[in-house]
Amino acid sequence: MSDYFAGIDIGSTMTKVVIMNDGIISSIIGPTGPEQRRLANRVMENALNQAGLPFDAITYLVATGYGRINVPFADKQVTEISCHAKGVAHLFPECKTIIDIGGQDSKGITIDHGRPTDFVMNDKCAAGTGRFLEVIAEALEITIEACGGMALKSKEPAQISNICTVFAEQEVVARLAEGVPLNDLVAGILESLASRISRMVKRLKVANEVVITGGGAKNAGLVKALSDKLGYATLVPPEPLITGAVGAALLGKDIVQKATKNSLPLERKKRSLEEIEIL
């Protein structure tokens, strides 16, 4: 019988589930929702359906991400730092630096053979995260998805002097009224965001290859701005949202293999997808 390993990455906005045996056999991304565990459940269920597996078939399940603590059916909790390191190294064996840009936080990780060697994180200030983009996009009445393309069309990105999200929002609206082209404004905003992230990441010993993950990686304009600021070429995985979940599943696999090798008992939680009470 083949072993199946699952990773569930519960972020502040999105929940990602990956089921693997030798390769990925199912991966689902769904909203975390306000009642995070209940929806996390549903994402798990969808992933199992997609894989055509009963929950019991999962040998080991690792939870990660912001909501990892409250997953009753997870066998182990591991931080997203370790999981991203593992997941990205699986996809890009030469990777030395990861930049993850999420909805509520952003982080930089340096890795060596799939293990983190150092990391930095920003989650207290919206200005260095996807949240910044969200606020600004709303103020400019455009979608986040459109931002990347618009920015790439700009020849002269606007200078945005304010870092604070609230001030920047004011500034952008005022500049728009002055007639600064929208593309330039968007490009300016992405540069400002990229510069926030880049100077945080520069606290690490950045080295090639640099891989960008998370929602921010889907924004071509941001990726380009970030590469420029960092002075490194960057790579983006085909599905940048699931690297954490992939890593979680792989870490689960490592744990099981280690236990089997040393004939150690494995602690596993009950595989139950019943409604979970919200604390």
Partner 1 sequence: MNEQNSTVMSKVERYYKDYGIRARELKKEGKTVISYLCSLVPMEIITAAGLVPFRIRGNVNEPITKGDTNLETIACPFIRSCFDLSVKGWYDFCDGIVIPHGCDSMTRPYSTWRYTLGLPYSHFINVPHTVSGPSMEFFTEELNTFRKSLGRFAQKEIADSDLIEAIDLYNENRDKAKALYDLRKSDPPLISGTEMSKILTVGMSLPVTEANELFAEVLEELTQRKEAPVHKAPRIMVDGACIDNIDFVKLIEDSGANVVVDSLCIGTRDYLPHTDVGGDPLDALAHRYLDKINCPRTYREKAEGAYEKDLTARFGDIGSLGKEFKVDGVILYVYKYCDPFGFEVPARKAYLDSLNIPVLYLEDEYSAGIIGRLRTRIQAFLEMIE
Partner 2 sequence: MAEEEKKQERKKRRTATEAASSIGAMVKAAIGGTVKAKEEGKKLAYSFIVCSYDEIIRAMDVVPVWTENYAGVCGAKRDAERFLERAESQSFSRSLCTYALCGLGFDQWREELGEMPPDAPWGGQARPDFMLSSGQILCDPRNKWYQAAQQYMPDVPIYDVGLPYPLYEDDIEVADVQDYYIKYIVAELRGLVKFLEEQTGKKMDYDRLSELVDLGERTWNLIWETYELRRAVPTPMGTGDAMNTMVPMVFMMGTQEAYDFYLDLNKELKDKIARKEGVVEDEKYRLLWGGGLPSWFALTDFNYFNSKGAVFPVETTYRMIEPIYRLNMPDTNDPIERLAWRWLGYWTYWYDKAKKRPGSEPDVERLIQYIEDYQIDGVVMHEAFSCRTWHLGLIWQLNQLRKIYKPIPVLILGQDGKKGEEKRELPSLILESDIIDISTYSEVDTRNRIDAFIETLEQVRKNKADRR
Contact residues: partner 1, CB under 8 A? 66, 78-82, 115-119, 121, 123-124
List of residues 6+ apart from 137 with CB closer than 8 A? 143, 144, 146, 147
d(CA 140, CA 47): 36
Q: Which of 152, 169, 148 is nearest to 215 (CA)?
A: 148
195 binds, among partner 1, partner 2, none (CB under 5 to 8 A by kind): partner 2
Tell me which of partner 2, partner 1, none is bound by residue 5, counting a contact when its beta carbon lies within the kind-specific cut-off of 5 to 8 angstroms. Answer: none
Cα separation, 60 vs 19, whole angstroms:
10
State in angstroms the smallest separation of the CB of 117 from partner 2.
16
Which x/- pattern, by CB under 8 A, does the window 134-163 give for partner 2?
---------------------------xxx
Q: In this complex, which beta carbon is closest to partner 2, that of residue 151 or of residue 168?
A: 168
Interface characters, 179-218, with partner 2 (x: CB under 8 A)? ----------------x---xx-xx---------------
Q: Tokens in use for 278?
A: 């919200």
Q: How far is the CB of 115 from partner 1 (least distance, A)?
A: 7
Nearer to partner 2, 174 or 266 (CB): 174
Say which amino acid occupies 262. Answer: N
Give whichever of 200 and 256 is closer to partner 2, judged by the CB atom. Answer: 200
Closest CB to partner 1 among 186 and 251?
251
Residue among 59, 72, 86 at smallest CA distance from 260: 59
Closest approach of Cβ 196 to partner 1, in Å? 15
Sites for partner 2 among residues 81-110 (CB under 8 A): none
Which stretches of the chain are DSSP H helices? 36-51, 80-91, 130-140, 144-153, 165-178, 182-201, 220-230, 243-261
- What are 80's two structure tokens? 């997203």
> Quick one: 76 or 224, whose CB is closer to partner 1?
76
Give the C-alpha separation, 257 to 279, whole Å. 34
Number of chain positions touching partner 2 (CB under 8 A): 14
Separation CA 72–CA 62 (nearest Å): 11
Which strands form 210-213's sheet, in the order they lie side by side? 115-122, 106-112, 97-101, 210-213, 234-235
Q: Which does 170 bind (CB under 5 to 8 A by kind): partner 2, partner 1, none?
A: partner 2
Q: In whole angstroms, how close is the CB of 166 to partner 2 at the nearest point?
A: 9
**Contacted by 82, from partner 2, partner 1, none: CB < 5 to 8 Å by type:** partner 1
User: SS3 letters for 42-66?
Assistant: HHHHHHHHHHCCCHHHEEEEEEECC
Decide if residue 170 touches partner 2 (CB under 8 A).
yes
- What's the closest the beta carbon of residue 99 comes to partner 2, in angstroms? 14
117 near partner 2 (CB under 8 A): no
Q: Which residues of this protein are in contact with partner 2, per CB under 8 A?
A: 161-164, 167, 170-171, 174, 178, 195, 199-200, 202-203
